[in-house]
Chain A
Amino acid sequence: MDDDKIVDLYLARDESAIAQTAQKYGPRLRQIAERVLGDPSAAEECENETYMKAWELIPPNEPRTYLFPFLGRITRHVAIDEYRKCSSLKRQGVFCELTREMEECIPAGCRAEDGAEALELSRSIDSFLGTCTPQQRNVFVRRYWYFDSVSEISGRYGFSRSKVKTMLFRLREGLRSHLEEEGYTI
């Protein structure tokens, strides 16, 4: 079923919207959650919570042209929240590696306790991505939105692993400079 019709079901408060969403996007949403949490049953709980939140958020939102990014954002947020709460998950696996990579992007002098408005930070990252080539942008998004491994990105775009690692390194440096220019320092 295409996204337009699925969103119509949500708007009509037809509960088959959930089943249709799960059928179309369930595996991808679970995959995102599992990459954060490293546990299939925890990932399934995140998936279910995503459907509940989607039910609450549609309406007023009508993500007809961006349903998967909309759902994926919810899943990411739920999974990352769970990850932060559960100390036993920390220092494990892919997500731990990703957060360490992201820490390279934090400008020097930025205190850990400074609360950055999340939306403002997202907008800054958006404007940084707007300066990148499509190729660079896709690699960044696959790594830090979809949580793909370097090998997966390499296979997806036909790049060597070293090329992917180098691109990510340069992108993180670029994001750090961009955040500094936007004032994310003391």
Chain B
Amino acid sequence: MNGYDLIDAVGAIDEKYVAEASAEKKSTGRRWVRWGALAACLCIIVGGVYLATRPRGGADIPAPMPAEAAEVKPAPVVPAPVSKDDVTEQGGGGLYIPAIDLPENTEGEMDMIGLIVYRGGIYTQSGFYSGDEALAIEPLVGEYLGTCDGTIDEWSAREEYERDFAGNIPGDFYAVEGYDIGFRICMVHEWPDETGSPTTVIEFFDRLNDITLTTGGDLFENRLHLRGRVEDIVWQSHDDWNWNRGNFRDAGFDPGTWDAFIDTLDEGGFVYTWDPDRSSAFYEGVPNSRIYDTPNQAHLTLSMEDGTRVELRLIEGGYVGYGPLNWYFVKMPGDAFDAVYDACGGTHETGWAVAR
């Protein structure tokens, strides 16, 4: 058998497949919704509130809480890192991402990320789909899990976060087919679009706190299931991403390059890059400050075969970040990272030293 035999044999496939493929297909175009950009109830935390602070080591990734758990474990209070010496890179036991620490009281104004408390864990908003994109992923909306009362707001006391089904977005929430409910749940709404017509909106909420991540595979395979399921990759320059200009471009690398990237990503360890010593250096005109301040970044949007999207941030030096994880990155060694980074508009401006 050779290539000619196969191509010839394709000629005699069922005529209905040939006819099906000859039907004209309208292009629907792509509409990109940058996560967190549009939801009326989604805001960025400001003021004195922070997420996921000091890392710890050693705990295993928890399995989803059993349904019969009646008591919701209160979120542990985690002190802020006091120096970069407190920051530890991934060791044999993995990197623990603490539960979200919420303030005892709020004197100033505070905005909040969309969140839901479920089975002892806090799930925060991670994806937003509306219109045609929401309709495309509607089949993923699974079993009804509960109804969030939406009563939490910036003035809620800590105890109010300890109730199951508490949250700041009212509505029913559901499992997401293909994803563990210990990681991802979703809400479905009907909201008016810009013309006032009702449009379907689906929001994902991921639990990415009070967990331990040992390797990239713990996130990108065990939770997000990237391997073999990425259908399309586009990228934005950091400048376009920063100014929300769109201008998405096709990633031109071949599937082998992507597979090598995924293989190495899955084996990489997590590092924590927050450095309080650098927290204000950028604003004093000093370069070599926080990892997010470097212009040497590339932004990838992966379209998954189930219609969902995963956004990755690549920072020069081998750092791969998943948006909701903030200061936690997978650190990858050189070649496999560089091939994708360079193909996706990654720059190499000098004078910017990234975190260790």
The answer to whether A70 has its CB under 8 Å from any CB of chain B is: yes
Q: Which residue of A lies closest to B1 (CB)?
A: A116
- Cβ distance A86 to chain B, nearest Cβ, rounded Å: 13
A106–B3 CB distance below 8 A: yes
- Cβ distance A78 to chain B, nearest Cβ, rounded Å: 10
Residues of A within 8 A of B253 (CB): 162
B232–A159 CB distance below 8 A: yes
Query: Bound state CA distance, A80 and B8, in angstroms?
Result: 7
Asked whether A121 and B6 contact (CB < 8 A) given A69-B15, A158-B28, the answer is yes
B10–A145 CB distance below 8 A: yes
B4–A84 CB distance below 8 A: yes
A163–B11 CB distance below 8 A: no
B7–A102 CB distance below 8 A: yes
B6–A105 CB distance below 8 A: yes
The answer to whether A144 has its CB under 8 Å from any CB of chain B is: yes
The answer to whether A161 has its CB under 8 Å from any CB of chain B is: yes
B20–A137 CB distance below 8 A: yes
Q: A91-129, CB under 8 A of B: which get 1 and which 0?
A: 000010011111101100010101110110110011001
A146–B21 CB distance below 8 A: yes
The answer to whether A141 has its CB under 8 Å from any CB of chain B is: yes
Residues of A within 8 A of B228 (CB): 170
Residues of A within 8 A of B230 (CB): 166
B26–A141 CB distance below 8 A: no
Q: B1-31, CB under 8 A of A: which get 1 and which 0?
A: 1111111111111111111111011111110
Interface residues of B in 24-47 (CB under 8 A from A): 24-30
The answer to whether A27 has its CB under 8 Å from any CB of chain B is: no
> In the complex, how many residues of chain B place their beta carbon closer than 8 angstroms to a beta carbon of chain A?
43
Q: A57-77, CB under 8 A of B: which get 1 and which 0?
A: 000000101101110110011
Residues of B within 8 A of A115 (CB): 1
A163–B26 CB distance below 8 A: no
The answer to whether A24 has its CB under 8 Å from any CB of chain B is: no
A103–B3 CB distance below 8 A: yes
Asked whether A184 and B17 contact (CB < 8 A) given A76-B11, A138-B25, A162-B233, the answer is no
- A interface SS class: helix
Q: Which residue of A lies closest to B29 (CB)?
A: A158
Which of A80, A112, A155, A166 interacts with B232 by CB under 8 Å? A166
The answer to whether B108 has its CB under 8 Å from any CB of chain A is: no
A166–B231 CB distance below 8 A: yes
The answer to whether B251 has its CB under 8 Å from any CB of chain A is: yes
Residues of A within 8 A of B30 (CB): 158
Interface residues of A in 133-153 (CB under 8 A from B): 134, 137-138, 141-142, 144-146
Asked whether A69 and B18 contact (CB < 8 A) given A118-B5, A125-B9, A141-B13, the answer is yes
B1–A156 CB distance below 8 A: no
Residues of B within 8 A of A68 (CB): 18-19, 22
Residues of B within 8 A of A142 (CB): 21
- Cβ distance A91 to chain B, nearest Cβ, rounded Å: 12
The answer to whether B156 has its CB under 8 Å from any CB of chain A is: no
Query: Bound state CA distance, A103 and B4, in angstroms?
Result: 8
Q: B210-235, CB under 8 A of A: which get 1 and which 0?
A: 00000000000000000010111110
Residues of B within 8 A of A167 (CB): 231
Query: Bound state CA distance, A70 and B13, in angstroms?
Result: 10
Query: 4 extra interchain contacts, Cβ-Cβ under 8 A, other than A84-B4, A122-B10, A165-B254?
Result: A66-B15, A95-B7, A156-B24, A169-B255
27 contacts between A and B (CB under 8 A): A66-B19, A68-B18, A76-B11, A98-B3, A99-B2, A99-B6, A102-B3, A103-B6, A118-B12, A122-B9, A122-B11, A125-B9, A125-B13, A126-B17, A141-B20, A144-B7, A159-B232, A160-B232, A160-B234, A162-B233, A162-B234, A162-B250, A162-B253, A163-B303, A169-B255, A170-B228, A184-B1
